């Protein structure tokens, strides 16, 4: 296993984790954990990690009947960036 494939795998893991964090942020927005609980702390960390991407998208997208479509667009953008980074790494390393 070469250095290039290790880098590609690391990038894939990073983006997979971020993808899951966005999904977790959506779930936490539905259940609203109580303050002072482990889930509340986990939700807070999740929001802190995902808001840098979600907030600009949320500001740019209009809401439709109170629904927030920013997570869907964020997931698509994260997937697009993952593919671009992966392609660049594969071109550089091989």
**Residue 49 is encoded by which pair of tokens?**
């990690």
**Residue 84 is encoded by which pair of tokens?**
């671009």
- Give the residue, 11 or 62, on which the prediction is more confident: 11
> How does DSSP assign 16-60, residue by residue?
HHHHHHHHHHHHHHHH-PPTTSHHHHHHHHHHHHHHHHHHHHHHH
CB 78 within 8 A of CB 18: yes
pLDDT in tens, 31-70: 999 999 999 999 999 999 999 999 999 999 887 788 889 9
Mean confidence (pLDDT) of the chain: 91
* pTM: predicted TM-score of the whole model, two decimal places: 0.87
- Give the residue, 1 or 61, on which the prediction is more confident: 61
CB 4 within 8 A of CB 86: no
């Amino acid at each position: 296993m070469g250095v290039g494939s290790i880098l590609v795998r690391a990038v894939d893991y990073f983006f997979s984790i971020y993808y899951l964090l966005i999904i977790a942020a959506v779930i936490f927005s539905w259940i609203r954990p109580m303050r002072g609980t482990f889930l509340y702390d986990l939700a807070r960390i999740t929001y802190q990690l995902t808001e840098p991407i979600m907030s600009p998208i949320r500001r740019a997208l209009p809401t439709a009947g109170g629904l927030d479509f920013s997570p869907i667009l964020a997931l698509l953008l994260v997937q697009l960036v993952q593919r671009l980074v992966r392609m660049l790494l594969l071109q550089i390393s091989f």
